[in-house]
Structure 1
Amino acid sequence: MKTRITLSAAAALLATATGVTTVPASAAPARPAAAAGTSGTIVFVKNYNVWIAAGNGSHARAVTRGGTRTSPFHSPSESDAGVIAAARGSLIVRMTQRGKVLNTINPPRLWNSAGEPMDGAVNDVAISPDGRRIAWSFVRYSCPVAADCLVRYTTGYTRSTRYARAGRSTYYRAPSWVTNTRTLQTGGSGSQVMIHDINSAPRHWFDDSDYTFPSTDLADGELSRNGRWLAEIRGYGTTSAIIWYRVSGSARTGNPPSVPTYTCYTNGDARHASPTWSPDGTALAWASVDGIYVKRAAAACSSPQPRRVIKGGSAPNWSRAALR
Structure 2
Amino acid sequence: MSHVTISPDGSKIAYTYEKYTCPSTMPPKPCRLRWVTAVTAANRLTPATNYGVVFYNHPTWLTNSRLMVNGGGYDQIYLFDIARGAAFWFHEGMFPGSDFMPLADGTVSRNGAILAMVRGTFEDARIVIASLPQSPRSGGGASPAGVPL
Q: Deviations over 1:90-137 (max 9, x none)?
A: xxxxxxxxxxxxxxxxxxxxxxxxxxxxxxxx2111000101000000
1:173 corresponds, among 36, 53, 57, to: 57
Match of 2:35 in 1: 153
1:192 Cα deviation after fit: 2.0
Identity of aligned residues (%): 32
1:203 aligns with 2:87: yes
Structure number with larger C-alpha Rg: 1
Secondary structure of the 1:199 match is coil
Q: Deviations over 1:184-210 (max 9, x none)?
A: 111342762110001112111111112
Match of 2:107 in 1: 222
Contact 1:138 1:153 in 2 (8 A): yes
Question: What SS does the corresponding residue of 1:163 show, helix, strand or coil?
Answer: coil
Structure 2 runs not aligned, ≥5 long: none
| Structure 1 residue 124 corresponds to structure 2 residue 3 | yes
Deviation at 1:225, TM superposition (A): 1.7
Given that 1:230 and 1:247 are in contact with CA atoms closer than 8 Å, whether structure 2 keeps it comes out as: yes
Q: 1:254 is matched with which residue?
A: 139
Q: Does 1:234 align with 2:89?
A: no
Matching residue's letter, 1:218: L
Indicate conservation of the 8 Å contact 1:186/1:219, yes or no: yes
Q: CA distance change for structure 1 residues 128 and 173 in 2, over 3 Å: closer, same or farther?
A: same
Aligned residues: 143
Aligned to 1:111: none
Counterparts of 1:138 and 1:190, CA distance in 2:
16
Matches within 5 A, 1:181-192: 181-189=65-73, 192=76
> Counterpart of 1:137?
16
TM-score (norm: length of structure 2): 0.87
Unaligned stretches of 5+ in structure 1? 1-121, 266-324
Higher relative contact order (CA 8 A, sep 6+): 1
Partner Cα separation in structure 2 for residue 214 and residue 263 of structure 1:
12
Which aligned pairs between 1:266-281 and structure 2 lie closer than 5 A? none
Q: Residue 111 of structure 2 aligns to which amino acid in structure 1?
A: N
